[in-house]
Structure 1
Amino acid sequence: MKSRDHGGGVSYQTGGYTQGDGEQHKINLWKGFELPNDGALTVAVDLGKREAASNTAPDTRTFYDGSTQAQYTEQNTPFRTWKFGSPEQKDQINITANLDLPLTDEIALYGFSSYGHRKTIGENFYEPPTTKTVLNQSSYFKQRYPDGRSPLSLVSVDDFATTFGVKQGNQTSGKYDLYATYGQNKVSTEQGNGINPSYGADSPSHYDLGENIFAQLNTGLDYSRDF
């Protein structure tokens, strides 16, 4: 993590795969700020996105059996090479801040924090109209997805962590470091191109599946000295 009291910078990266997919873009910005007593605050921001990359062979299954009002045929269906590989990633942002603030010759405050967010959109296995499950063969499913479907998994991840501490002392008398760290991770999941059997024909196609949150707080006191 950078610790600068002046200056700044901007950088840009782009790339992709030779087959033409998986294009990605990243922008990095950082800036240093001078604080009293030779202190420093450094802030950095990363922005990015990545398109999906697929590595799959044509699906040779029979897709259509005449049981749905499909707009495609076995010959012209675009689902013959459904996507399977690295998912799309969007709204990616990472922010970091690093603080160093001396108060006296022997006492200093410090802290560093980070926040990250990204949303991933992944296609699951394609389900053609000939998929023999109770759900796929139901009348309301065939009406909504006459050409089958590729269920979408949409996952949003938010990470946050911060540490704040105070240092005191010198190597002769000993150094104290009192600090506290708090972190939280939240994963939210949504379903796209979906259908809930409990609601039947009234089911939405897009709905939340819930979220998981993990949080943790740690505190500590370190002491060190030369002998």
Structure 2
Amino acid sequence: MAGIHGRRHRARGVRAGAGTAVAASALLLLGACSGGAEEGGTAIELERGESGMVPAVEPPGPEGFTPQTVEGITIDVPDGWDVQNQGGTLCASPPGQAACAYGSVQLTAHAAENHPQEWPSRGGAHSKADGWADNTDRCRSLNTAASGDIGIKDAELRVSDFTEHADTLKSHHSVWDVTCANDDTFEVRMWFLPTSDVLLYVWSADSQHSAVYDQMAASMDTTEYRS
């Protein structure tokens, strides 16, 4: 994955003395077996890649995570999370929760471009108190999200800063605390790249996965998406 590099190990040099003699003998034996520089009038060459190394294989994510990609954007997703990937959106949901609902993380390419209201780009919604959703009428707390009939009392933009990702790009990072009409509360997290139009969104955060959300965000790599 771009932005995560595997380690390269240097081959150990052959020790002088007996080791050198063995290496020299091996080269002479190879020459003898191949008939010298030419065999049957055809020159023989031992070819290898330009670097002399086997092409690198994409490394796995950190322990307990697996890289997932949507439209060239890669992110590390915890093992055991349910992943849905369609229509330019990757959705990762923690075990035991409904797909793309409470606790889930959504990664969307061309987010504002494909949204009817150009959310969250239009009007700088990603950094405003009422910018936590395109429709701010419905409560998303764990106990009320399924009903869909509980309204919102108010929302507070608690965090508005920047996060650097694996590809060195920095996104607008926002966290909202939202209070429902019945006084339930829930948290919304967003990482948004306005120029690239990439949105990483936690619809309704599960506090037990708080550190996981940050780790997933840090792993985001848009190198192939931009190329």
Range of TM-score over shorter length? under 0.3
Task: Give the TM-score, by structure 2 length.
Answer: 0.22
Structure with higher helix content: 2
Q: Which has the higher contact order (CA 8 A, sep 6+)?
A: 2
Task: Give the TM-score, by structure 1 length.
Answer: 0.22
